[in-house]
Amino acid sequence: MKELVEMIVTSLVDYPTDVTVNETSGETVTIIEIKVGADDIGKVIGKEGRIANSIRTIVKASAAKQNKKVNVEILTEN
- pLDDT of 68 over the 80 cut: yes
Element (H, E) at 50: helix 50-65
Q: What domains are defined for the chain?
A: 2-76 (3.30.300.20)
The number of residues in the chain equals 78
d(CA 45, CA 53): 8
Q: What pLDDT score was predicted for residue 72?
A: 94
Q: What pLDDT score was predicted for residue 45?
A: 93
- pLDDT of 1 over the 90 cut: no
Q: Is-contact 53 61, C-beta < 8 A?
A: no
Tell me, rounded to whole angstroms, the distance of Cα 30 from its chain centroid.
12
- pLDDT of 78 over the 80 cut: no
Q: What is the pLDDT of residues 6-61, one digit of tens each?
A: 999 999 999 999 899 999 998 889 999 999 988 999 999 999 999 999 999 999 99
